[in-house]
């Protein structure tokens, strides 16, 4: 069996971090299994779906490195849905209902007031031809519901949640089509999963009850069931569901300079028993991905943890992986020198400006003036090669008797304008003799 997974976002907005996690997990499972990952745009809501959102979804997935093997749009598959709907109608699996939204809401409130579950009472099935004709005469058009089989218990073994059982009598017959003929999510999703040969449906735990009703739709269509996996939803770092998670997306992550692999490293294992580690490539995440590692405990998303991962990944990146994003003139030795001090690749530009100058060094201490004059004199005569920093500091130590902070800090301040930064042994050769002499003279 070829494993086929799918990511099926609605192009009615931008992807948020929860969507990204679902897409990543579906992609990882397909990659590990040597299968296929499909992108399906669930755009049956023609009023709210936008082409710019669809383009943004594609761009986000590409930036994250989640390539897809095929793409489909539900808005181009209405003929298939119509054919399957008519077959279900002929077999008695769907039926028309004429209640208005206000009538349904009133019934729901009455049931809740009595302490009963707000399950649809199937009143539409008891309508007489005369009642239907009266509704039609007053201009009502029916919405359509899928008729659940109350005699067939719903059960499946979830790849994450284990054995699941639902009593169909406690579920409302789901509305699958509106009175205006437009489709809701439930039935088209099943029809597409069947038609596309989807073998694994991986999504959030908020879809568990949807899965229960959709299982009977698969059966009604005479199709085998895919495997289902429902993972815990993300929560904020404070342990509560956070509205902010709904606004965090690729645009935000790119804006603050995060690497795609930092996002992948965190989201691939968030909610699992596996350690979250920085990875520079996807392959270790692919190799280690397995549903058995995931549990039902809340998956806490922490932006601070993401930032730390990003920093560690930046420190792993070779020059070739970042060359096109570095300032002009910054070569491999410069990247190797600056990389350990970066939180993001974009931060390299700030350190490169320190290399290329000019530098506004803080006013030197009076007691450092003679020391810096000596540094200028010694640097003028010493061979300027890869070992220049060591040679300069050794010569200054021997001449002035300074050591430790008193030796190194005045030099760093004069040469970079800062008290901290990259290894001066690597930085000074990048600054160059002439610029270094100018800075030492200015500071003195």
Strand partners, 154: 166
d(CA 412, CA 230): 55
- Is the residue at 66 inside a domain? no
Number of domains comprising the chain: 3
**Domain boundary residue, one of 310, 330, 356:** 356
367: helix, coil or strand?
Answer: helix
**Domain boundary residue, one of 308, 337, 356:** 356
Residue 70, CB-side half-sphere exposure with 13 Å CA sphere = 11
- Is the residue at 424 inside a domain? yes
> Cis (ω within 30 of 0) for the bond into 240?
no
pLDDT at site 239: 60
DSSP state of 294: B
Residues 63/64/65/71 CA torsion (nearest 10 deg): -80
d(CA 159, CA 307): 31
Q: Say yes or no: 389 and 331 in one domain.
A: no
d(CA 94, CA 144): 7
pLDDT at site 365: 76
d(CA 213, CA 203): 15
d(CA 112, CA 357): 71
CATH number at residue 101: 3.90.800.10
Q: Say yes or no: 348 and 385 in one domain.
A: no
Q: Say yes or no: 97 and 168 in one domain.
A: yes
**Domain boundary residue, one of 306, 327, 356:** 356
Asked if 225 contacts 159 with a C-beta cutoff of 8 angstroms, the reply is no
- Is the residue at 375 inside a domain? yes
pLDDT at site 94: 98
Dihedral over Cα of 113, 116, 120, 124: its sign = negative
Q: Say yes or no: 352 and 406 in one domain.
A: no
Structure tokens at 74: 């539900």
Q: Say yes or no: 323 and 375 in one domain.
A: no
d(CA 77, CA 58): 20
- Is the residue at 388 inside a domain? yes
- Is the residue at 137 inside a domain? yes
- Is the residue at 273 inside a domain? no
Burial class (CB in 10 A: 0-12, 13-18, 19+), 8: buried
Q: Which segments of the chain have a pLDDT < 50?
A: none
CA 162 to mean position of chain CA atoms: 25
Asked if 377 contacts 437 with a C-beta cutoff of 8 angstroms, the reply is no
d(CA 104, CA 98): 10
DSSP state of 95: E
What pTM did the predictor assign? 0.90
- Going by C-alpha positions, the residue among 257, 228, 252, 229 that lies closest to residue 301 is 252
CATH number at residue 436: 1.10.10.350
Q: Say yes or no: 426 and 348 in one domain.
A: no
- Is the residue at 112 inside a domain? yes
d(CA 371, CA 375): 6
Residues 361/366/371/372 CA torsion (nearest 10 deg): 30
Q: Say yes or no: 342 and 380 in one domain.
A: no
Q: Say yes or no: 94 and 173 in one domain.
A: yes
Q: Say yes or no: 370 and 413 in one domain.
A: yes
* Element of type H or E holding 1: none
Asked if 176 contacts 147 with a C-beta cutoff of 8 angstroms, the reply is no
Q: Do the bridges between strand 4-7 and strand 70-73 make them parallel or antiparallel, or are there none, so unpaired?
A: unpaired
- Written as one string, the DSSP assignment of 24-62 is HHHHHHHHHTT-EEEEEE----TTT--HHHHHHHHHHHH
Q: Say yes or no: 335 and 387 in one domain.
A: no
Q: Say yes or no: 439 and 374 in one domain.
A: yes
DSSP state of 361: P
| Domain ranges, residue 123 | 90-152+159-177
Q: Say yes or no: 94 and 169 in one domain.
A: yes
> In 297-426, where do the E strands start and end?
299-300
Per residue in 221-267, pLDDT (tens digit) is 999 999 999 999 998 866 655 667 767 889 999 999 999 999 999 99
Q: Is residue 243 annotated as involved in ligand binding?
A: yes
- Written as one string, the DSSP assignment of 133-183 is HHHHHTT---EEEE---TTS-EEEEETTTEEEEE-GGGSPPPEEE-TTS-B
- Is the residue at 56 inside a domain? no
């Amino acid at each position: 069996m070829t494993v086929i997974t799918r990511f099926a976002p609605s192009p009615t907005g931008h992807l948020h971090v929860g969507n990204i996690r679902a897409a990543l997990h579906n992609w990882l499972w397909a990659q590990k299994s040597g299968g296929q990952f499909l992108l399906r745009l669930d755009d049956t809501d023609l009023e709210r779906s936008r082409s710019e959102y669809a383009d943004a979804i594609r761009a986000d997935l590409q930036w994250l490195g989640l390539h897809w093997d095929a793409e489909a749009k539900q808005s181009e598959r209405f003929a298939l849905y119509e054919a399957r709907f008519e077959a279900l109608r002929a077999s008695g699996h769907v039926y028309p209902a004429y209640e208005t939204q206000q009538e349904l809401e009133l019934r729901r409130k009455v049931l809740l007031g009595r302490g009963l579950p707000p399950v649809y009472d199937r009143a539409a099935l008891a309508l007489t031809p005369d009642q239907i004709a009266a509704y039609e005469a007053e201009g009502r058009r029916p919405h359509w519901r899928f008729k659940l089989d109350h005699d067939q218990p719903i059960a499946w073994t979830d790849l994450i949640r284990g054995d699941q059982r639902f009593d169909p009598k406690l579920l409302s017959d789901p509305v699958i089509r509106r009175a205006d003929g437009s489709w809701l999510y439930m039935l088209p999703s099943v029809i597409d999963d069947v038609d596309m040969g989807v073998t694994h449906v991986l999504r959030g735990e908020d879809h568990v009850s949807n899965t229960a009703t959709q299982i009977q739709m698969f059966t009604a269509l005479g199709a085998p069931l895919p495997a289902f996996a429902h993972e815990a939803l993300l929560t904020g770092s404070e342990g509560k569901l956070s509205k902010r998670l709904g606004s965090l997306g690729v645009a935000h992550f790119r804006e603050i300079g995060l690497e795609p692999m930092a996002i992948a490293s965190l989201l691939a294992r968030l909610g699992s028993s596996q350690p979250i580690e920085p990875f520079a490539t996807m392959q270790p995440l692919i190799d280690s991905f397995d549903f058995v590692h995931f549990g039902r405990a809340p998956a806490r998303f922490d932006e601070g943890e993401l930032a730390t991962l990003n920093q560690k990944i930046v420190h792993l990146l070779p020059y070739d992986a970042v060359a096109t994003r570095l300032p002009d003139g910054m070569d491999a030795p410069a990247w190797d020198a600056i990389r350990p001090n970066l939180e993001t690749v974009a931060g390299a530009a700030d350190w490169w400006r320190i290399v290329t100058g000019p530098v506004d060094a803080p006013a030197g201490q009076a007691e450092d003036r003679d020391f810096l004059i000596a540094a200028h004199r010694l640097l003028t005569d010493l061979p300027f090669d890869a070992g220049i920093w060591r040679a300069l500091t050794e010569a200054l130590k021997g001449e002035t008797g300074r050591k430790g902070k008193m030796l190194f800090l005045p030099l760093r301040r004069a040469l970079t304008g800062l008290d901290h930064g990259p290894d001066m042994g690597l930085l000074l050769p990048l600054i160059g003799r002439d610029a270094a002499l100018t800075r030492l003279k200015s500071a003195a």
